[in-house]
Chains A and B, each alone.
Chain A
Amino acid sequence: MMRFLLRRLGHAAFLLIGVSVLAFFFSALAPGNYFDEMRLNPQMSAERLRALRAEYQVDRPMAVRYIRWVGAVVHGNLGFSFAYNTPVAPLLWARARNTLLLTGTATLLVWMLALPLGVWSAERLGRPADVTLSWATAVLLIVPDLALSLGLLVLAVRSGWLPTGGMVSVGFEGFSAAHKLRDVASHMVLPVTALVASALPISLRHVRAAVAEALEAPFLRAAEGHGISRRRLLYRYALPAAAHPLIALFGFSIGTLLSGSLLVEVVMSWPGLGPFLLEAILARDLYVVIGGVLLSTLFLVAGNFVADLLLYWADPRIRAETTGR
């Protein structure tokens, strides 16, 4: 167990270091920096600009900047934002919280819908109900989240049923606790719907395929012959047997908690990581971009790690394989 854990952790560390080097490498290819725009400002003298560049060390070579940045990471502040003039980590965290609220809810909903629907559909494989559901998921699969969220937005704006954009209404600070909760929840409806609609078909199809395959297995026919109830058969026998690919997929959906909602956030102007990062990209606020990329990679890696652990726990074959070595 320890060896398995250590190997996975080492792998994760390698990936994170690699990604940070890659991000720095791309940044070194970049023409210009945050202070270039200031050259157009007549109140900025050339000396002042040079002083600023020196102060923020953008004039140093890449290797030096990288080492200093690693030092900042070790201190837990992920470098310095030029635009906000503060360390990056608190900025990112404030935005990441909002993103996690959104994507956490959406992911939970996706799996709560995908598991029963997928099992239900696999049980009726090829019958009208299953075919209808397959068509519905195919349609959802084709319409990308950009078109979906814009369409939802148009609908909401024209009907006026739901608030569009942002996370809270004007005057949020003065609301009572229950009112605050209701307000945020009503703002979440649209983005969460868009996220669920774009992620559900993939999970649903995987659940359906995996359970359908498990249902074909001889041991299930035997269990059926023993007269075990249909419900127990589906959820206690077929679903665990089908769990392997689903756990991997679950790990992936944990991994994309920070990166999956980027576009939806921008479209719905949810104050999460997406719009923040886009702004940073447009302003060439280098360390914010690198910090964002690193943070979301951290989530991806952590998601994979969680999936590995779950698989280790759920699948005796993997346990045997890793301890046998």
Chain B
Amino acid sequence: MKQIVIISGKGGTGKTILTAAFASLAKNAVFADCDVDAADLHLLLQPEVLEPHEFKSGLTAIIDGQVCERCGKCFDVCRFDAISQDFIIDSIFCEGCAFCSYICPVKAIKMEENISGEWFISKTRFGPMVHARLGIAEENSGKLVSLVREKAKEVAIEENRDLIIIDGSPGIGCPVIASLSGVDYAIVVTEPTLSGLHDAKRVIEVGKHFKIKTKLIVNKYDLNADMAANIELFCRNNDIEVLGRIPFDKHIVDAMVEGKTVTEYKDGRAKEDIIKIWEKLKKNFIGV
């Protein structure tokens, strides 16, 4: 079984559009939406949820006002600014380290387990999907990403599926690292802008750091063809294979509005090029 992840560094370059298009073209795959912060893949794949589950993660401190003697020790030790002057814990900022609960001389602080999101096993018109929703303003997105990936792997083994396609999140931090670990290929999708290049370089470095083979796609390349060429040159000089270019195409947004993948929508330039990229990916790398 192979695993590929679509990442970008910069947000809004087309990760989910591409993931959904690949999902529609893959014959025997499982799809994992690992952008648990702001998941969008479900809007195109319209999963029917088979199993919802709670995601429990981490602890939050709670002060019992009846017992608390307001000595201020907890306030002094908390490094996350989570305890107010009047000894109330702000659950949004508490990182669950429990230092306050250990240090409290009258044992007024308890640690409670958080329900910090949900995850789902679903079916879609293209195959099974594992996805999640991190609770608003919660932490531990990396843990939830790892959980989604683990479940996707279980589904793939159970149903004898030979590929997992992972939709990643923007950035280079915790959820991105969790979505990268142990994949066969990371595909960076970027846009021909200075920001796109800057951010792609950083996420490519992250791939290198974790020794992941990385490929690149330039989306909306005709927005600035010179910049697209610059990005491709950077890739050539750094042993990153460019899988292809996708033109700006209004059909992409139109398809999204209808809840369809690009490949299910009217023929157009973007659709044609995405199919070509998929064929190349399939033949040369995924081998399925």
Is B a genuine binding partner of A?
A: no
Q: Which residues in A have some Cβ–Cβ distance to B below 8 Å?
A: none
